[in-house]
Structures are given as structure tokens and as C-alpha cells.
Amino acid sequence: MAVRPVAELEFAAPATPVRDASWPATILRFARRKPLGALGGLLLLVMALTAVFADQLATHDPIATQASATLVKPSEEHWLGTDHLGRDMYSRLVHGARVSLVVGLGSTLLGSVLGGIIGLLSGYAGGKTDLIAQRLLDILQGLPLLVLALVMSAALGPSIHNVIIAISIPIVPRASRIIRASVLSIREMQYIEAARALGLRHLRIAFRHVLPNTVGPFIVLVTAQLGAAILVEAALSFLGLGVPEPYPSWGRMLSVSAAEYAQKAPHLVLFPGIAISLAVFGSNLFGDALRDTLDPRLRGA
């Protein structure tokens, strides 16, 4: 945010990965230096494992309704109780991790890759191309993320694919801006000048020599946006414009029906919200720590 001297930006060393250490050692060091980041990483890992092994972890069919056991309080049979249709909340939450992760990660990756390519090309090309690309992206950024995703998913119709597309589009301008910023400084490096002196084609320089050096900011970007994407998915599904039934989505579990029965069965409201919050909290903590480690220049941005 603050005005920094140009020289600092240009001569700042690119993010240097730790070279000498093995994987476990690197992770241990990260955990010692950034305990909160490690906690975030752990939360994300738990979520990912839950999503992968949802079928094994679930105790009931997440979609099966049971008229004889609606709004049951948490018990031995139903660990986290049942909803108004008698569906097992624990099993639904476990399967919901899958939906949240697929939609969150899918839309973040799609938006970041698209935005990243635009940022790479426009930053590398510079001049008028860059200016026009940036102005066009301004257009997309002028709308609140949720409003744009809301209109897009309404326009595209309810399906998992469409939700992923709807959430990814607002991410594109944000991603392109971050990648472009790092491309601008990489572009001025001597090895790029050397590549040019060798007579390499521009596209080759952009993708083979500039692109690999944006990996650090790219990873930071993805982890930072993941939380936001999960939140938008939850909000869309809550409003009935996200992931359609019968997929158990955390946001949908909180929607109108839950609010209606909230007084009789508070567990309907509590648990899905806690799941969303923990997942987003994890990716925020992890993203912050990664940013500090991989790209100190962006600290606090």
C-alpha cells in the first residue's frame, strides 16, 4: 500500500527457496518459525484428508432421509445429530468437505491460472497491451466479488461446474494484478536481458524464464484466495444459488431450513458454520505464513 522507492522493488531478490534442507526439515523449520501458519496448514490437511476419505469416515449415507429421526440432538447413533429431514449431520459435514474443497480449490485454481496468464503476458508485454488489459480487468473488479458471483451463477444455472466458473471469474483480476506486479520486477532482471540477447522468442522468454519465477507469489495467491472462494461458495449455497441438491454443501446446510429449526436444534446452525470457519481460518493462517516466508515484500498487503 505504502509508497516504496522503485529501486527497492527492482533490486529486491526474488523469493529464494531453502535449498539445502530436505522436505521434513523444511516443514519442521516452517512450523517452528510460523506456528500459526503450521496450524493453518494442519487444518487444511485435515480438511483435504476428510474430503478424500469421506466415504470411509461417514457413518451414514449423507443423502438418505429418515422420517423417524428428524432434528435428533447429537447422540451415539448420530454424532452431530440429524437435520429436519433426518439426514445424519456428521456424514453430511464430512461429505460437505469434499464439495467445499472441490469448489474452493477448483475456482481458485481456474481463476488464478487464467488471471496469472493474463498478468504474465500483459506485464511482460508492457505498454499499450498492458494498459488495455489492466483497464479491462478493472471492469471486473468494480463489482463486489459476491455480487458478481451471484449474478453469474444465476445466469449460468445451478451446477457444480457453473458455481466453480462463477466464483473463478471475480478472482481473475485479483490474480492477474499480483502476478503482473512480480513479472514487472522479474522483467528487468539481467537473465531476462541475457535471454533476449540470445535472440529467444518473447513467448518462450515469458513462459520459460519469467513464469517459473512467479511460482512463489502464485502459491501465496492461491492459498490466500482459497479461503475467500470457500466463503463465497457458502454464501451462494446459503442463498440457494450455489451447489444444487443433493450434494451436501456447508453453505446450503445453513440455509433457510436450518434457520427455521435453529431454535429447536441449534446444532443445525453451529456445526456447518464451524466447519466453514475452520476451513477458511486454516487457509488464511497458512496463506499469511506462506506469504511472509516466500514473499516478504507483500507482507501486510
Partner 1 sequence: MKTYIAQRLGIAVLTLFGMSIVIFVLLRLAPGDIVDVLFSAAGYVNPAEKKAILQELGMDKPVWQQYVDWITQIMRGDLGKSYRYDLPAWQIIRPLIPVTVELAILSTIVAVVLGVPTGVISAVRQDGALDYALRVFSLAGLSMPSFWLGMVIILTLVSWLAWIPPLTYVRPTENFWLHAVQFMLPALAVGYRSSALIMRITRSAMLEVLREDYIRTAWAKGQNERTVVWRHALKNAVLPVVTVIGIEFAFLIGGLVVTETVFNLPGVARFLVEAILWRDYPVVQNLVMFIAIIVILSNLAVDLLYGVLDPRVRYAS
Q: How far is the CB of 210 from partner 1 (least distance, A)?
A: 28
d(CA 235, CA 239): 6
**With binding defined as CB under 8 A, does residue 281 bind partner 1?**
yes
- CA 66, 67, 72, 76 dihedral sign is negative
From 285, 289, 290, 294, residue interacting with partner 1 (rule: CB under 8 A): 285
**With binding defined as CB under 8 A, does residue 198 bind partner 1?**
no
Q: What is the DSSP string of 180-239?
A: HHHHHHHHTSHHHHHHHHTT--HHHIIIIIIGGGGHHHHHHHHHHHHHHHHHHHHHHHHT
Instruction: Considering only the stretches 11-19, 21-29, 172-180, 271-279, report the one whose residues sit in contact with partner 1 under the rule CB under 8 A.
Output: 271-279
Q: How far is the CB of 229 from partner 1 (least distance, A)?
A: 13
**With binding defined as CB under 8 A, does residue 235 bind partner 1?**
yes
CB distance 246 to 159 below 8 Å: no
The three-state DSSP-derived secondary structure of 61-117 is CCCCCCCCCCCCCCCCCCCCCECCCCCEHHHHHHHHHHHHHHHHHHHHHHHHHHHHH
**With binding defined as CB under 8 A, does residue 151 bind partner 1?**
yes
List of residues 6+ apart from 123 with CB closer than 8 A: 130, 179, 180, 181, 183, 184, 187
The set of cell numbers assigned to 300 is: 501486510
The set of cell numbers assigned to 67 is: 422420517
Instruction: Considering only the stretches 5-13, 44-52, 138-146, 180-188, report the one whose residues sit in contact with partner 1 under the rule CB under 8 A.
Output: 138-146
Instruction: Considering only the stretches 23-31, 177-185, 200-208, 279-287, report the one whose residues sit in contact with partner 1 under the rule CB under 8 A.
Output: 279-287
Q: How far is the CB of 269 from partner 1 (least distance, A)?
A: 5
**With binding defined as CB under 8 A, does residue 19 bind partner 1?**
no
Residues 238-267 within binding reach of partner 1 (CB under 8 A): 238-241, 251, 254, 259, 262-263, 266
Q: Which helix (H) or strand (E) holds 45?
A: helix 35-52
From 114, 261, 273, 292, residue interacting with partner 1 (rule: CB under 8 A): 273
Angle at 107 between CA 101 and CA 113, to 5 degrees: 125
From 152, 178, 195, 210, residue interacting with partner 1 (rule: CB under 8 A): 152
**With binding defined as CB under 8 A, does residue 231 bind partner 1?**
yes
**With binding defined as CB under 8 A, does residue 211 bind partner 1?**
no
d(CA 109, CA 172): 10
**With binding defined as CB under 8 A, does residue 124 bind partner 1?**
no
Residue with cell 532482471: 189
**With binding defined as CB under 8 A, does residue 172 bind partner 1?**
no
Q: Tell me the helices (H) and strands (E) count for the chain, helix number first.
A: 14, 0
**With binding defined as CB under 8 A, does residue 131 bind partner 1?**
no
Interface residues toward partner 1, by CB under 8 A: 1-3, 36, 135-136, 138-140, 142-147, 150-152, 154-157, 227, 231, 234-235, 238-241, 251, 254, 259, 262-263, 266, 269-270, 272-273, 276-278, 280-281, 284-285, 288, 299-301
